[in-house]
Amino acid sequence: MPRYFFHTLDGACIRDEEGEELANVHAARSEALAVFGEILRYQGDEFWETGKFSVIVTDADRRSVVTLTAVAVEGQEEDAGR
């Protein structure tokens, strides 16, 4: 099974050196979403230091597979509601 690496980024990039063996790209996407949700849920106020958080998935050849990003956008709630 291919190995995928899940790096996290919120200002500083924290590299995943161990990686995880998963069946395919689809499984890597599912895992990325699970990790993304879990870390955001437990981040508390830390998120607001940068207002941005990403999980970057790469394969064994260091090619990017998918990136998930949460971004805080302030002061545009009314525009978004229209």
Partner 1 sequence: MKQALVDKLSRRDVVTAEEVRVLADLLDPPRRVPAGADIVTEHSRPNHSTLLMEGFAARYTTLGDGGRQITEISVPGDFIDLHSLLMKQMDHGVVALTDVVVANAPHAKLRTVTEEQPHLTRLLWLDTIIDAAIHRQWLAAMGRRSGLGHFAHLIAELYVRLQTVGRVEGLAFDLPLTQSVLGDALGLSAVHVNRLLSELRTDDVVTWSHGRVEILDWDRLVALAEFDPTYLRLHSEPV
Which residue of 3, 38, 51, 69 would you call a contact of partner 1, by CB under 8 A? 38
Q: Check residue 75 for interaction with partner 1 (CB under 8 A).
A: no
The answer to whether 64 and 28 are in contact (CB under 8 A) is no
Q: Check residue 60 for interaction with partner 1 (CB under 8 A).
A: no
SS3 category, 13: strand
Q: Check residue 66 for interaction with partner 1 (CB under 8 A).
A: no
Q: Cα(80)–Cα(26) distance, rounded to whole angstroms?
A: 31
Total residue count of the chain as it appears in this document: 82
Residues that bind partner 1 (CB under 8 A): 6, 8, 12, 14, 16-18, 20, 34-35, 38-39, 42-44, 46, 55
